[in-house]
Amino acid sequence: MSCANRNRSIQARSMTEKSLRSSIRFRLMLVYVGSICFTLILFAVVVYLSVIHNLEKEVDDDLATRAQQARDFFASHGFSNQELQAFAQTYGGGTPILKNEPDSKQSSIPADNALNRSDLSAALTYLQLVDKEGRLLEQLPNNLTIMNQPSTQKLLHDRLKLGQNYDYILLADNERARVYTVPLDRIDNKGYLQVVRSFQENDAIIRGLTWPIVLASAAAFFLLGLFGWWITRRTFSPIEDITETAYRIGVNNDLAERIATDPGSNDEVSRLGRAFNAMLERLEKSFKAQKQFIADSSHELRTPLTVIRGNVDLLKRNPDPQNQAESLQAIERESARMQRLVQDLLLLAQADARQTVDLVPLQLDDVVLEVFKETRVLADQRGQHLKLGNFEPVTVEGDRDRLKRAILNLVDNAIKYTQEQGEISISLIAGKQWARVVVADNGLGIEAREQPLVFDRFYRIDKARQRTQGIAGGGTGLGLAIVKHIVEAHGGRISLESETGQGTTFTIWLKNSSTAALPPDDSSEGVEEPVQTAEPKS
* Sequence-distant contacts of 170-176: CB under 8 A, at least 24 apart: 171/120, 171/146, 172/146, 173/119, 173/146, 175/119, 175/120, 175/121, 175/146, 175/199, 175/200, 176/200, 176/203
Look at residues 154, 194, 141, 151 and name the one whose alpha carbon lies nearest to residue 173.
Answer: 151
pLDDT for 530: 39
What local confidence, expressed as pLDDT, does residue 302 receive? 74
pLDDT of residue 130: 85
Q: Radius of gyration over alpha carbons of the chain, in Å?
A: 53
What parts of the chain have a pLDDT lower than 50?
1, 20-21, 93-117, 187, 463-474, 514-518, 522-538
Say how far apart CA 275 and CA 451 lie, in whole Å: 29
Contact by Cβ (8 Å): 138, 129: yes
8 Å CB contact between 440 and 467: no
Region of 51 please: left (phi>0), alpha (psi -120 to 50) or beta: alpha
CB 460 within 8 A of CB 450: no
Task: Give pLDDT tens digits for 197-249.
Answer: 888 888 888 888 888 888 888 888 888 778 878 877 777 777 777 788 878 87
Cβ neighbour number for residue 72 with a 10 Å cutoff? 9
Count the Cβ atoms, other than its own, within 10 Å of residue 282: 11
Name the residue type at position 138: E
DSSP 8-state class, residue 223: H
Residues paired with 197 in a beta bridge: 125, 178
Which residues, at least 6 apart from 374, have a Cβ–Cβ distance to it below 8 Å? 408, 471
Residue 337: which residues within 8 A CB-CB, separation 6 or more? 304, 469, 474, 475, 476
pLDDT of residue 267: 75
**pLDDT for position 446:** 85
Indicate the pTM of the whole model. 0.46
DSSP state of 458: T
DSSP 492: -
Which pLDDT tens digit goes with each residue over 487-506? 888 889 999 898 888 889 99
Alpha helices by DSSP H, 174-267: 200-252
DSSP 8-state code for residue 74: H
- The C-alpha atoms of residue 423 and residue 438 are separated, in whole angstroms, by 14
Cβ contact 131:189 at 8 Å = yes
DSSP secondary structure string, 343-387?
Answer: HHHHHHHHHHTT-----EEEEHHHHHHHHHHHHHHHHHHTT-EEE
pLDDT at 97: 42
Peptide bond into 238 cis (omega under 30): no
Sheet holding 125-131, edge to edge: 136-140, 125-131, 190-198, 176-185, 165-170
To 10 degrees, what angle do helices 81-91 and 24-74 make? 130
pLDDT at 22: 56
139: enclosing H helix or E strand: strand 136-140
C-alpha–C-alpha distance, residues 140 and 109, integer Å: 7
